[in-house]
Amino acid sequence: MEQNILDFITYLREVKGSSPNTIQAYQADLNKLCMFLAKQENISVTTISETNLNSYVLHLEKEGYSPASVSRNISTIKAFFLFLLKRGKIANDPSERLSPPKVTRKPPEFLGTKEMNKLLQQPDLNTPKGIRDKAILELLYATGIKVSELVSLKVQDLNLKMKYITCGGKNERNIPIGKKARNALEQYLNIRQETFNKRNIDYLFLNTSGEKLSRQGLWKILKEYALSAEIDGINPNKIRQTFAMHLLNNGADLESVREFMGHNDIMTTQQYLTHSYTNSRVVYEKTHPRA
């Protein structure tokens, strides 16, 4: 089974062009399944049954995995066995009738405008680190992009003259950026090459060693300023949700916010509520608090 998993991971990477984070999640889920099945005798990909997979799902639930985590594992299993079926490795798909548990969506958590402004005021602009961090915070709030998208941005993904960034990999999209974020980015770019880019790499945000800023590094930065601003429970996703809610609360239409957030399904954006229309650029400039 291990070789089949490796073949599937290679397919995700080389054919589907999945992101490193997606590939890592798929591999971790399948390795867990493999370890569970290894405790049972004479099981291979050709002999795995629907009963075996249902037993595994029950095992995850007993181990305390959340409904969302169980659902993700089931999605991984289904994708894996569909891959094997299409390549003739198995005659029947044992995962076909697996159904995920119902997942109750939590209402979006977001910061008020005053809280967000207080957070944005924390970096010390008299230091290179503060200038970089200010650009990071302003860009997160200005665009609502994910952590993985922000740390993967390259200098060429910025178009300050046309007032937008390009991000998203396979789900590529252009997102407008307001004046405050542009000013912060310009200030950072003025010191980036001399202060941070010791290894001459093209990722936009670099750590003090001149390497690509990691997801963990970004979380650490956010935690530092949340502490100094005396704001509890801040994480990158909360800023992403703050971006969406502030736009909607100021009259942006749902479809424009869907485009900015990179949601494939309007139902995902629906949780943020509200309606209105006009083209996305006009909506952004009229409704984002720091545009």
The token pair at 184 is: 């912060």
Catalytic residue among 182, 240, 258, 290: 240
Catalytic residue among 272, 284, 288, 290: 272
The token pair at 137 is: 């915070």
What is the rounded CA–CA span in Å between residue 84 and residue 75?
A: 14
Known catalytic residue at 32: no
Q: What angle do CA 34, 57, 73 make, to 5 degrees?
A: 65
What is the rounded CA–CA span in Å between residue 120 and residue 87?
A: 52
What is the rounded CA–CA span in Å between residue 139 and residue 18?
A: 25
Catalytic residue among 263, 284, 288, 290: 263
- 275 in Cβ contact with 253 (< 8 Å): yes
- 119 in Cβ contact with 127 (< 8 Å): no
How is residue 142 annotated by DSSP? H
**Residue 208 backbone phi and psi in degrees, to 5:** -70, -10
Known catalytic residue at 114: no
Known catalytic residue at 272: yes
Diameter of the chain by CA atoms?
65
Known catalytic residue at 170: yes
Q: Which of the residues are catalytic?
A: 170, 240, 263, 272
